[in-house]
Structure formats: structure tokens, C-alpha cells
Amino acid sequence: MTLSFRCARAEDLDRLVELHRSAFPDRRGYDARLRNFTANPMGTLEDLWVAQEGEAIVAHAFLFPLSAWFGGEEVPMGGIAAVGVAPEARGRRVGSRLLERVQEIARARGDALVALYPYRQGYYARLGYTAVTPYRHLRFAPSALALPAAGLRVRPASVADRPAMAACWVETGRRRTGTLVRTERTWEAALSDEAITWLVADGEGGPEGLIAWTVTQRELHGATTLLVREVAATTDRAWRALWGAAAAQRDQVDEVQVDLPEDDPLPRALIDGDRIARRDRAVAHPLGLLADGPMLRLLDAPRAMAARGWPESGRVVLDLDGTRLALEASGGRATLEPTREEAVIRLDAVTLTALSFGGLRAKDAAWLGRLHARTADGLARADALLGLPAYFSSDRF
């Protein structure tokens, strides 16, 4: 089968909507699917690539120009989304060939890695992608939150707060792994959603944090859910104040739901957090569930190592898929260069991606059999050098 690849054009939209409906058969209508292509906050129609067989479009995939924080640095990243293949073209490697093409484009424009949210992990694992740290999805009654008073005023956000909110997002993102860098376009899309409530916690010098939530009710007088979409706080007291504001909704809200990184301390603030949950013989006190996040793939290992930040300094020699490389970090930067030295860590590129960008610790990779260390000291050095906080991003694409 001969395929060609190009950017989508306006005259393709009817076919794109048709193909999207067959690939993602949910309840969205024509207009909603059209907006996904023409008014997507992550990019434009020029970021959508199509595969053609002759004159017929048989697949599409977005390649968004994104950046995310890793080790405190902004790393250029391609965001792959809406990968869809026409029914008549499935089973003929159309999807994988389109992915190969967009990965080549991402590599050529300087991206260090690509990320996507998979429909099925197994398919993308076969193409060299790795999962990141699982998220925790909590469900609890607002009255279960037990936090000491923070002493900060929490109020509705205003237009004047936008620069401070963006600054809170940046400072919080730098401390995390995988949080997306927001553009004016993505901020505008988030703040213009009338269903979202935005609050800020004021300190002496202005907002020290923000929280955004949506309140939903399936039917009149039915149970009410508060879905926390994001929390960004530059101080511990702002974090407590913002979650205190969520707890204060106890008289109007039956349940709070939120996605959190694996290492977030919020579950330790809950007392009887399971009071609204269904229990069973296996789990007496459920608080939520684990959920998979995106999958990542390195495009160029030396470029990727140079792009992320390195909180720790050190040096370790790797056997990466049979090639010996010295990874050396100093002053927040690192290099990955060929060496003749004996390797102390043996791993493949997929595992290196998980260690250096996905939040997997080297000691856990060794436990899982994905990494082999020649010495315990070498494993400890690799764990300290590569380790980052758990991966988490509240912005999906």
C-alpha cells in the first residue's frame, strides 16, 4: 500500500469528521468534532497530519507543539492526539506509519520526546512508548477534609489576577514532572469556560495559588459532584487554604473528585474519606482508584538528556541497547556521550525514557527487571541522579 502524508486542509473537514466519528464513536455530534479540529486549544488545523491512499484520507493524527517541565526546565515535546484510522484501512499498519511520520517531524523540529494518551497501551508499547507514573483519582466527601486554618483569604479570581495565576502555574510546574507549559491560547480556553469556578488564595504580595473546579448534578435535587480540575500553589499555606475552600462546600456538595500525582499528600488530610464509597469484602475503606496517564517516547536520547533539568549532580555509565554511554550531570545540565568505560547500568531506551521523564525510579526499574545494575552503589547513583517527582499533568490533549 502506497501512503502519502500531508497537513490537513479546510476542504478535508467533512472527511475528517467522518473518520473521527468512526474512530471515536462517542456521543459528540458534527459540530463538536469539527471544533476539535478547528478550535482546539492545543493547536490548529496545521498541526493535524493525514495519511492518504491515492486521493482518499485514511488516517489522521495531531502533532501539537508543546512544552512540559522536567527537572525544573521546559522541554520541547510533541503532543500526539486524535490518532484515527478509517475502518477500511485498519490492520495494514496505516496508524503506525502515520505515527512514524509525525515522530520524524517532531524530531526534525527539535522536540526531545513525544507524548500521547493511549486508547490501548499495548499497541503503543510495541512502538517504543512507555507509561508514566499512574495518577490517583480520589473520591471523597468534602467534610472528610481535615486541614488546619491557613490564614489566607480565598476569593474569586478576576481578570487582573491572570498574570499572578500564570506565575503560580509556572512556579508549581517547575517543581513537578510533566506539567504542560501553558500558552496564551490554552489559558484563554481554560478561563473562558463558564462552567469552571476559579478561586485564588491571597498572600501579602498577591495570589499564592489557584484552584479550579466544576460542579455537576445529573438531575434536579440529585447528588452533586465537585470536580477539581487543577490546583497550583506556591506555598504550603496557599495549598491548605485552597483545599479548605473545597471543604467549605460541604453543605452544597456530596462528593469531591480529583486527579492527583502519586506523591501528593492530600489523602493524608482525609478522615473517613470513604464515607460515600461502596465497600466490599476486599476493600473496606476505598478512597479512589489508580488511573494511567500518558505514554512517552524519546526521539533523541542525547538531546533529551540535555533538555531536562538535573537537580542532582553525578555520573553513571550506561549500557543503552548495547551502546556504552556516560551520563554526566553538573550545574543542572547533563550530557550523554559515548565511552569505553565499563557500564554499571544496563537498560533499553524505553526504560531510560521512563526513568528520565516518566517518574519511574531506578531502584523500582531494577525490581521490575527492566534495569540491571552491576553494583548496588551504581544502582544508588543512578537512582539519585535520574530521579524526578511523580509524573502528572492536569492538562490533557
- The domains located in the chain, with CATH, are 4-131 (3.40.630.30), 136-291 (3.40.630.30), 300-386 (3.30.1050.10)
Cα-based distances in Å from 64 to 47, 79, 80: 6, 5, 6
> 195 phi and psi, to 5 degrees?
-80, -15
Q: Return mean pLDDT, the chain.
A: 96
- Distance separating alpha carbons of residues 374 and 394, to the nearest angstrom: 38
**What is the pLDDT at residue 276?**
76
Cα-based distances in Å from 10 to 14, 18, 31, 165, 299: 9, 14, 15, 35, 30
Task: Please say if the pLDDT value at position 287 is more than 90.
Answer: no
For 117-153, write each residue's pLDDT tens digit.
999 999 999 999 999 999 999 999 999 999 998 999 9
Q: Are the C-beta atoms of 336 and 307 separated by less than 8 Å?
A: no
Say which residues have a Cβ less than 8 Å from residue 166's Cβ, sequence separation at least 6.
182, 187
Q: What is the pTM of this model?
A: 0.94
DSSP 8-class letter at 133? P
Q: 10 Å Cβ neighbour count for 251?
A: 7
Say which residues have a Cβ less than 8 Å from residue 327's Cβ, sequence separation at least 6.
305, 315, 316, 317, 318, 334, 335, 336, 385
For 332-353, write each residue's pLDDT tens digit.
999 999 999 999 999 999 999 9
The model's confidence at residue 282, banded by pLDDT at 50, 70 and 90, is confident
Task: Please say if the pLDDT value at position 206 is more than 90.
Answer: yes
**What is the pLDDT at residue 284?**
79
The model's confidence at residue 115, banded by pLDDT at 50, 70 and 90, is very high
The model's confidence at residue 191, banded by pLDDT at 50, 70 and 90, is very high
- Which segments of 246-361 are extended strands (E)? 255-260, 288-291, 295-298, 314-320, 323-330, 333-338, 345-347
- Distance separating alpha carbons of residues 233 and 231, to the nearest angstrom: 7
**What is the pLDDT at residue 362?**
98
- Distance separating alpha carbons of residues 16 and 37, to the nearest angstrom: 8
The model's confidence at residue 293, banded by pLDDT at 50, 70 and 90, is very high
Return the bridge partners of 52, or none. 4, 57
**Least reliable range by pLDDT among 59-63, 215-219, 326-330:** 215-219
Task: Please say if the pLDDT value at position 275 is more than 90.
Answer: no
Summarize the confidence of residues 41-66 as an average pLDDT.
Answer: 97
**What is the pLDDT at residue 222?**
87
Task: Please say if the pLDDT value at position 262 is more than 80.
Answer: yes
